[in-house]
Amino acid sequence: MMDEKDKKIKELKETLEKEKERYNKLEKEFKKTKHEFEEYKTQYPAIGQKKELPSFVKEDIKHLKKIPGQKKNHKGYSRRIPERIDFIKPLKLDICPDCGTELSETQEVRKRTIIDIPLTSKTINTQYEVHRKYCCKCKKLVEPEVPNALSNSPFGLNLMLFVVFLKTNMALPYNKIQQLLLIMYDLQISEGGLVNILFQVKKEFGEYYQTLEKKMRRVRTKHSDESGWRIDGINHNIWLFITKEIALYKIRKSRGSEVPAEFLRKQKNKVITCDGFSAYNKLKKLTGCLIQLCWFHILKNSRKHKKNYPEEATIIHDKLKQIYALAKSYNHKATDEQVEKLKKEIKWLAYPTYQHQEVKGFVNTLQERIDELFRFTQDSKIAGDNNLAERGLRKAVIIRKISNGSRSNKGAEILEVLLSIVETARLQKQNPLFFMHNILASES
């Protein structure tokens, strides 16, 4: 009897120990979950609160941050009279419009210049009579090329480049392009016809696009950024590589480092300014490039932490603003001693003990990537921000919002080539229509 009783007591004790372990484990998980939830509530204080308005309704602006219009006592200006006058039309009266009395000879002439456009226009339909002649040496019929037209296209080059401009630079969907051509030029083109136009022009620009790729690889400093894209409803990414003179877009499935690595290849000691996305960190090993982190993104993140954890992150954000202002004040001519001073200021941020993991991780990242913070202070070709790439991606983002990406891989290939050409024209401050026309004229 005693043996059975001892056995039961032993089993109960073992069960109790297991339950204690289970309880302690659950208690730890509960505390961890509670801590994470408290941090989440700090970031998103509206969670769990009853809203009077739906989340998609924006609050009214209580006051304007900036007073609209020019400042008081500003220097006035008006539109200049055009240098080129196409028509001069005299306007005369013989009888007074008020009383009907016969008027004298002209006493003075007042000039008024009106700038206008044709309300609509008509297409120019040209029929070329192509004379084919026999060459006795080549033993075949030869003929002259039709000017300002691509082979096997019923449309002239001006019209085709205008369609490219509307699709890329103006970000118009196909139905709006059709509507504009019909209203302005009484010209009907199907959606398939528009796609075919873009595809033909894209093929003609293939060689120039390859030239842009070679230039982008060779240049010593460049910017890069990426954003989401969709092809037939499937998530992809649009990558941008950009300088002050050329832009290059790539649409790929991956957002990993293999995309820029495959394109850029060897980049030893060449600098890429970027937002600190993890793919660029691995890119250093794959290509040998150097990284300059975007300070606007750094300050944006520190501002977010300041809002969520004001007791810890306020001093971090304020300190980073001071450091960046000092770095910019050197005007790309900082000495090694001045750069070391800036790095010491960054290292100072690591001394306090931070309670929140996000703040701690943010500060630790700055310490780990401290060499990538101040390259711009000693090189005028390197920018301390990635605004150039941000602006370059804006057009693609607008196209994505309007057209929801591309319908096919073919459409994506068309866009990445044509958008590269048009954006390069913008960077070089050239008329995109003339820019494209000149490229095709030089290649023919």
Three-class DSSP category at 218: helix
pLDDT tens figures, 234-251: 999 999 999 999 999 999
246, burial (CB in 10 Å: exposed 0-12, middle 13-18, buried 19+): buried
Residue 389 confidence (pLDDT) above 80: yes
pLDDT band at 49 (very low <50, low <70, confident <90, very high): low
Place of tokens 């703040």: 359
For residue 11, what pLDDT is reported? 81
In this structure, the number of other CB atoms found within 10 A of the CB of residue 319 comes to 15
Residue 360 confidence (pLDDT) above 80: yes
Beta strands in 198-233 (DSSP E): 221-231
- What is the average pLDDT value for the chain, to the nearest integer? 91
**CA distance readout (Å), 53 to 18, 42, 48, 58, 206:** 50, 21, 14, 9, 52
For residue 205, what pLDDT is reported? 97
Residue 103 confidence (pLDDT) above 90: yes
pLDDT tens figures, 66-95: 777 777 888 877 888 899 999 999 999 999
Q: Among the residues of 128-190, which ranges form H helices? A: 157-168, 174-185
Three-class DSSP category at 130: coil
For residue 43, what pLDDT is reported? 63
Spatial separation of the C-alpha atoms in residues 400 and 235, rounded to whole Å: 12
For residue 60, what pLDDT is reported? 75
Three-class DSSP category at 133: strand
For residue 144, what pLDDT is reported? 93
444, burial (CB in 10 Å: exposed 0-12, middle 13-18, buried 19+): exposed
Please tell me the total number of residues recorded for the chain in this structure.
444
pLDDT tens figures, 282-320: 999 999 999 999 999 999 999 999 998 999 999 999 999
For residue 443, what pLDDT is reported? 73
pLDDT band at 15 (very low <50, low <70, confident <90, very high): confident
User: Would you kindly state where each structural domain of the chain is located, as residue ranges?
Assistant: 131-266+277-290+403-444, 295-378
Residue 149 confidence (pLDDT) above 80: yes
Spatial separation of the C-alpha atoms in residues 312 and 318, rounded to whole Å: 11
CB 423 within 8 A of CB 165: no
Residue 390 confidence (pLDDT) above 70: yes
Q: What is the mean pLDDT of residues 104-132?
A: 94
Stated as kind and residue range, the H or E segment containing 16 is helix 2-43
Write the CB contacts of 291 (distance below 8 Å, at least 6 apart in sequence): 271, 272, 273, 274, 280, 281, 283, 284, 369, 372
Residue 40 confidence (pLDDT) above 80: no
CB 106 within 8 A of CB 90: no
pLDDT tens figures, 200-219: 999 999 999 999 999 999 99
With 0.85 as the threshold, say if the pTM is over it.
no
Residue 30 confidence (pLDDT) above 90: no
More confident residue, 266 or 61: 266
Spatial separation of the C-alpha atoms in residues 407 and 428, rounded to whole Å: 30
